[in-house]
Amino acid sequence: MSCTRAELDGMLDELNRDLAMLVLNEADHEDLWAAFAAQADAICARAGFADIEYVRARMDAILRAQGIDPSPA
């Protein structure tokens, strides 16, 4: 079952905090991406069709806020 927008926002806020801590603690690049991807995949799996683009845009914004380019390499 899909989450509400408020629930998704809560998960995205947690992702933002977790990523900020990884960056602050200077986590290994691979560890940082693995942790982000695991959380991001879990959030996307809970998003409904109407919210998936919103979720992806928020994730891109979270990455950019930490100085990480969200575009694929």
Helix (H, G, I), strand (E, B) or coil at 70: coil
Comparing 31 with 3, the larger pLDDT belongs to: 3
Q: Kindly state whether residue 73 falls inside one of the protein's structural domains.
A: no
pLDDT at 72 over 70: no
Q: Kindly state whether residue 71 falls inside one of the protein's structural domains.
A: no
Q: What is the pLDDT of residues 11-65, one digit of tens each?
A: 999 999 999 998 888 878 888 889 999 999 999 999 999 999 999 999 999 999 9
pTM: 0.90
Q: How far apart are CA 15 and CA 64, in angstroms?
A: 13
Cβ 3 vs Cβ 11: under 8 Å = yes
* pLDDT of amino acid 73: 56
Total structural domains within the chain: 1
Domain that holds residue 56: 5-65
Q: Kindly state whether residue 72 falls inside one of the protein's structural domains.
A: no
